[in-house]
Structures are given as C-alpha cells and as structure tokens.
Structure 1
C-alpha cells in the first residue's frame, strides 16, 4: 500500500470492508515498524497514524489504545506464520522429516521477516500494558496455540513410531521450540558479538535433538531414519 498524506481524506473513502481492512493493515504495519524500534511509551497512536500516512485522529476508529494495536500486530503476524507452518507440516509425510522441516523452515520464515520476529520475540517487558482481569494471556490465546500445535503434533506423530518414547511428548515439543527460537533470539539481541551462521546452528540443534530422541526411544520401524536434510540455499 502506498503511503498516504495525513488529512488527505483517504480514510473517509474507506467504505467497503476491503478498504477498511487495508487501512487497518496499514496501521498494523506502521505500528510494528515503530514499536519494534522504540519503547511503546515513546510511540503514540497519533504518530503511528502519521507513519501510516493517515490523519492523526483516524487511527482511533480502528484501535482504542496501544494495547489493542499491540495485540492486533501479534495476531496478524502469528496467524500468517501458523498458516505457513501448517503448510510445511502437511507437505512432509515422514514423521522424522516433518519435525525437522517444521523446525528449520520456521526459522527460515522468521529470519526472512526480521521486523516481525523482533516485534514478537524481542519485546519482553515492553508491552504497552498488562492484561486486565479476566483477559486471556496472549501466550495462551488461540492464535499462539495454533502455531505451537504444529510443533506439538509433529512431535506426537514421530513419538507414535517409537515403542518407548524417550520423554513426555509435551516436554519434547517445548524443548524443541525453546531451543530453536533461543538459537535465533540470542544472536539477534546481542549483535555486538560475531556469531556463527544462525541457520547452521539451528540445523545442528534440531538434528541433535531428533537424534537424541531416536537413540533413547525404541524405533518400531514405522518411520525411516534418515540422514539430516540439507537446507536449500536461500
């Protein structure tokens, strides 16, 4: 979407649901850019509106406060990510390769969208407000659970091929998720150190985790143990 001139009256012409969705998306994209770079206390909704190219007051027709915009950005980005992860998982028939592909290609996805990754995973302690009583924590919201379930279901399918799973399924899934996202997050939040290639570190981590599961569990022959897949050049 091209940048609009504040006060140009373009908002008043957003009559159809498609036009309104486009305006809302412009605010989400502008909010992500600014909030990923600065503390929320330094970024007003009026400034976000101006960044999107609309009149300062127009944003309040879509978002009541910072927190509403903050949640909208996260829901927007995680919904798109979950759809991609599900597509990756559905394209792998071998349970071992499905875990590997979901883990490695999800990292590819986020590192090709660094602004989204930084907003979602580098904003700890920077939320513009805490949830009110009765609000569901975002980490337990449907969109987050949808994304996480791709990993959990992949692990479940792999462990179903083992006569004796090496550890509880949820513990295995949480460990995989924390490991791969940690490998990405630490270098991004400590740029003063010259780190090794992130993709290679993720591949090593994922392959080591899967190998440890297969070595500890008893394989019943329903899935073929394969050598680590090579990541395609970006």
Structure 2
C-alpha cells in the first residue's frame, strides 16, 4: 500500500473513531438527562452532529448504545472501588464512602442509573447487561462485608447495602435548601451510620 493510501486510510479510521466517540458522548449526556424511553436515536444523532443512519453503522439499536455508554461510565466506578478495596483494611467504610463519593461527583452515571431504575418498562438486553454490571459491584460489596457477616448472609446483605447507599443518594443528593457541601456532609454522616450499624450487628 502506498504512503498516500495509508494516510487516507488512517484519516478515514480516525474519522470513524471520532464519530463513534461523539455518538457515545451525546448518548451519555442524553441518557443522563431524561428517561431511557424518551431518548431517540435521532436526538442522539443530532447532538453528535451525525446523520441518524450513521449511528447504525456503530450500534445495533438504542439498547446497544445505552449499554455501551453505561459500561464506560460504570467501569470507571468499578475500577475505583477495586483499587480501594485492595489497599484498605477497613474495607466496608472505605468502599461505602468511595461509592457514595463517586456517584455524588459523577452525575452522568448517577442519573443514568436512577432514570433506568425508575422506568416502568423493562428493556430486555439492557436489564441483562445491567445485571452483569451489578453482579460485579455486588462481588466487591460482598468482599467488604465478609469481615462483618456470615457467608450465608452476604448475598442479601450486598443487595441491601447497594439499595441503602442508592437510597441515601436519591433522597438527599438533590434536596433543596442546602449547599452542596452541607448536602455532602449529611450524606457522609448517614453512610457512617449505615456502616456502624452493620458493624454493631456483626462485630469482628
């Protein structure tokens, strides 16, 4: 292949990668601003500045695009939690704080998860994909909880821990009348109470 052909091929590949990234970025913004069912491929194409037909060269459908966007956002969370659990002794407290801190500071992931959880309609492939991600998250929670709970209770405890942390976020993250710093301090306090309650129930 001649040098000119190589350069043309390279530029074409770069353009394809740029289009794909722009589509994903637009999807993340839209899926974090409104419910899944209200986000159309046409709207994503408009925000990504590409034609609607071009999206289907990269993604099969809306569900495929949502899962791609969600995996990118959630992988960063999972990596942050895994790094934390490897270096800390008091894993439960640190994991709880890290999860809350990440979701509090990274609004895209928090909003995408919240909107999808509150949807009335179930979307098959997306629900299955989310289960795979939450399974990875629950595995991290189970490891952190294993110092405080018997093995037979770890599965249910991880699910309850996840629901409790998200419940704190949903209830207080956007509560009016407080500064962001005051809100964060209150959320942090509630997480400390949650962890202390678990430790009192099952001391090491």
Could you say which TM-score interval applies, normalised by the shorter chain?
A: 0.7 to 0.9
Following superposition, the deviation at residue 181 of structure 1 comes to 1.4
Residues 1:30 and 1:167: Cα distance change in structure 2 (over 3 Å): same
Residue by residue over 1:138-178, the C-alpha shift from the partner in whole angstroms, topping out at 9 and shown as x without a partner, is 3421x33222221111111x237xxxx59822233222221
Residue by residue over 1:34-63, the C-alpha shift from the partner in whole angstroms, topping out at 9 and shown as x without a partner, is 232234454331321221222332111011
In structure 2, what is the equivalent of residue 154 of structure 1?
144
Q: Following the alignment from structure 1 to structure 2, what is the Cα–Cα distance between the partners of residues 127 and 73?
A: 21
Following superposition, the deviation at residue 86 of structure 1 comes to 0.6
Q: TM-score, normalised by structure 1?
A: 0.69
In structure 2, what is the equivalent of residue 205 of structure 1?
190
Q: Following the alignment from structure 1 to structure 2, what is the Cα–Cα distance between the partners of residues 140 and 43?
A: 21
Instruction: Tell me if the contact between 1:39 and 1:126 (Cα under 8 Å) persists in the aligned partners.
Output: yes
Q: Following the alignment from structure 2 to structure 1, what is the Cα–Cα distance between the partners of residues 51 and 140?
A: 40
In structure 1, what is the equivalent of residue 113 of structure 2?
120
Instruction: Tell me if the contact between 1:122 and 1:185 (Cα under 8 Å) persists in the aligned partners.
Output: no
Large movers: runs of 4+ above 6 Å: none
Q: Are residue 47 (structure 1) and residue 43 (structure 2) matched?
A: yes
In structure 2, what is the equivalent of residue 6 of structure 1?
none
Residue by residue over 1:184-212, the C-alpha shift from the partner in whole angstroms, topping out at 9 and shown as x without a partner, is 11234x64x43583433333333223323
Q: TM-score, normalised by structure 2?
A: 0.77
SS at match of 2:123: coil
Residue by residue over 1:92-128, the C-alpha shift from the partner in whole angstroms, topping out at 9 and shown as x without a partner, is 1x1xx21111111121112221122101223335488
Residues 1:166 and 1:215: Cα distance change in structure 2 (over 3 Å): farther
Instruction: Tell me if the contact between 1:166 and 1:213 (Cα under 8 Å) persists in the aligned partners.
Output: no
Q: 2:94 aligns with which of 91, 101, 112?
A: 101
Q: 2:104 aligns with which of 100, 107, 111?
A: 111
SS at match of 1:62: coil
Q: Are residue 79 (structure 1) and residue 75 (structure 2) matched?
A: yes
Instruction: Tell me if the contact between 2:36 and 2:116 (Cα under 8 Å) persists in the aligned partners.
Output: no
Instruction: Tell me if the contact between 2:36 and 2:115 (Cα under 8 Å) persists in the aligned partners.
Output: no
Q: Which runs of 5+ in 2 are unaligned?
A: 1-9
SS at match of 1:168: helix
Q: Following the alignment from structure 1 to structure 2, what is the Cα–Cα distance between the partners of residues 215 and 39?
A: 39
**Aligned pairs, number:** 193
Q: Following the alignment from structure 1 to structure 2, what is the Cα–Cα distance between the partners of residues 14 and 36?
A: 30
Q: Following the alignment from structure 1 to structure 2, what is the Cα–Cα distance between the partners of residues 201 and 139?
A: 29
Q: Following the alignment from structure 2 to structure 1, what is the Cα–Cα distance between the partners of residues 59 and 121?
A: 13
In structure 2, what is the equivalent of residue 177 of structure 1?
162
Q: 2:129 aligns with which of 120, 131, 138?
A: 138
Following superposition, the deviation at residue 22 of structure 1 comes to 4.3
